Structure 1
Amino acid sequence: MRRAFAYGSEDGQEITGVSFWDSEKACESWRASEPEAQRRVAMAPYGAEEREGFYRGRELTIPQS
């Protein structure tokens, strides 16, 4: 993982995490790891739903006027 961010709603009821990986394979390897399994067990009592996806993207720039 290169970087990770967590964004929370104002009322604290929703959190969205975004992480950046070197490759999809690296991300999949983490998802299958024991530390990630332990994190899921530890977080289970605090979350009603968890969803995952892998997206490809690019950094956007702000046009100069």
Structure 2
Amino acid sequence: MLDYIRCMVAGKSLRACAKEVGISLPTSFIWRHKILAALQSFEDNINFFGVVEMDELLMDYSEKR
């Protein structure tokens, strides 16, 4: 599972992660959604106190060749 998370963090596609880890494409889809749901539930419980500052970062991204 950690290898799969590394693939996700690297921004690889479902198909690429499935091939690298050695699982089927449907399993890759299920794993990705389970991991994202777990991260979302963790994120919902974050509370900030005191002064909180935030800034935005915009990045251009294109896969055109």
What is the TM-score when the length of structure 2 is the normalising length? Answer: 0.29
Who wins on radius of gyration, i.e. which is larger? Answer: 2
Whichever structure has more strand as a proportion of its residues is 1
Larger relative contact order, structure 1 or 2 (CA cutoff 8 Å, min sep 6): 1
